[in-house]
Amino acid sequence: MKNTLLAALLILALGQLSHFGLPWWSLAIIAGLIAAWLCKSAWQAFAAGLLGGSILWIIAAWLLDSANESVLSGKVGQLFQGASSMQLLWLTGFMGGLIAALGALTGKLGKDMLIKPSRKGYLQEKRRR
């Protein structure tokens, strides 16, 4: 659980790198690397990605939208079958979540394929040593 939250938090933090010129799909790779490093199971990886990615995208969008008083999202919503600003925010969050979740899942399963997973997670193993 702790690892999942930590992974989610890191995805949220590092996902903002795309602010500095990285393409949007870099979120999937970032989530994949973090999940491979921290997550103990595929489910955990998926959950961490979903959580981190969706919160990242929805908050980033919400900050811009509220400063803008939803002027633009009201207009863009009309292009998406009359979606409201709120619906656009959810859609954004859902997309960010899905991109990160699938990225994280792939990262975790990729690591599992290369390195046989231990019963315990990385942190526990480290502590034991």
What are the residues binding another protein (CB under 8 A)? 16, 18-19, 21, 23-25, 28, 32, 42, 57, 60-61, 64-65, 67-69, 71-73, 75-80, 91-92, 95-96, 98-99, 102-103, 105-106, 109-110, 112-113
Residue 110 tokens read as 């990729």
Q: Which helix (H) or strand (E) holds 55?
A: helix 42-67
Q: Closest approach of Cβ 128 to another protein, in Å?
A: 23
**Structure-block tokens of residue 114:** 């290369």
21 phi, psi to nearest 5 deg: 95, -5
Calpha distance 64→80 (Å, rounded): 19
End-to-end CA gap in the chain = 21
Cβ nearer to another protein, comparing 8 with 105 = 105
CB of 24 vs another protein, minimal distance in Å: 4
At closest approach, how far in Å is the CB of 33 from another protein? 13
